[in-house]
Amino acid sequence: ARHVVLTGEGGFFARTVARSFADLALGVGRLKRGTAKGTVILDVESDLAVLWLMPRLTAQALDALQLNVDLRCRPDPPRSLPGDVDLVLTWGPAALIGFRSEPFLDLNAFPVASPALIAKGPDPASPGFYAAHRLIHERGLYWWRRYCEAAGVMLDDVDNHLFFNRTHLCIDAALRGLGIAIGDHLSCDQHLRSGRLVQLPGPVLPGREQYHLLTPDTAHLSRPARQMRDWLRKAAQK
């Protein structure tokens, strides 16, 4: 089979054409969307929306922004976007034509449990604590396998498991005392401060990826998008 290799000039031309089509799609989408004036459309990964964004998007914050917010959620990083989206919060550095990506939030992972479950014993500092309770997983064994290796705990000694495909469901199950979940400071911050969850002793694991903020790759960002972008950046720094 023959392969076509672009020259430097050809590659530059291809990127320019792709960006131009992306700009056209964004423009047409915004003309068609029919939303109220001063509206910003924010596309957000669902776990981040439930566990981080919504607790911060208070009535006071909305009053200060003086914007209409159209919040759209999805379970996984987008491969493409509708033409009317202004800003994106996604897991990992999604490469989408027409958008530039910047690191937004880091996270570290650690086990969490409810005080009621911890009270059942044994001592949370002992390896037997994990074997005595149900382990809560998100989409497989990855995080618990990593944690057990770091903590010197045998995952094979645990017979009771509960699986979900979303982080917020794992955290909700831990709040209900159904088992021990792998949490992080983004998903568990409010629950840790209120005492509804407790960070268990042991290693803290660095996250595999960061959350990223995607903004249109243009020099003329709309006022609503610019205001929401600036608010998100400030919220991420707190």
Q: What is the pLDDT of residue 20?
A: 53
Q: What is the pLDDT of residue 28?
A: 52
The 10s digit of each residue's pLDDT in 51-84 is: 999 999 999 999 999 999 999 998 888 777 777 8
Q: Is 108 left (phi over 0), alpha (psi -120 to 50) or beta?
A: beta
| Global pTM value | 0.77
The 10s digit of each residue's pLDDT in 194-234 is: 999 999 999 999 988 899 999 998 888 889 999 999 999 99
Q: Which domains does the chain have, with CATH numbers?
A: 8-105+210-237 (3.40.190.10), 108-206 (3.40.190.10)
Runs of H (alpha helix) within the chain: 8-32, 46-48, 54-56, 59-65, 115-119, 128-131, 142-151, 167-175, 185-194, 223-237
The values of phi and psi at residue 213, to 5°, are -105, 125
Contacts with 47 (C-beta within 8 Å, 6 or more apart), sequence order: 166, 167, 168, 187
Please state whether beta strands 99-105 and 211-216 pair in parallel, antiparallel, or not at all (unpaired).
antiparallel
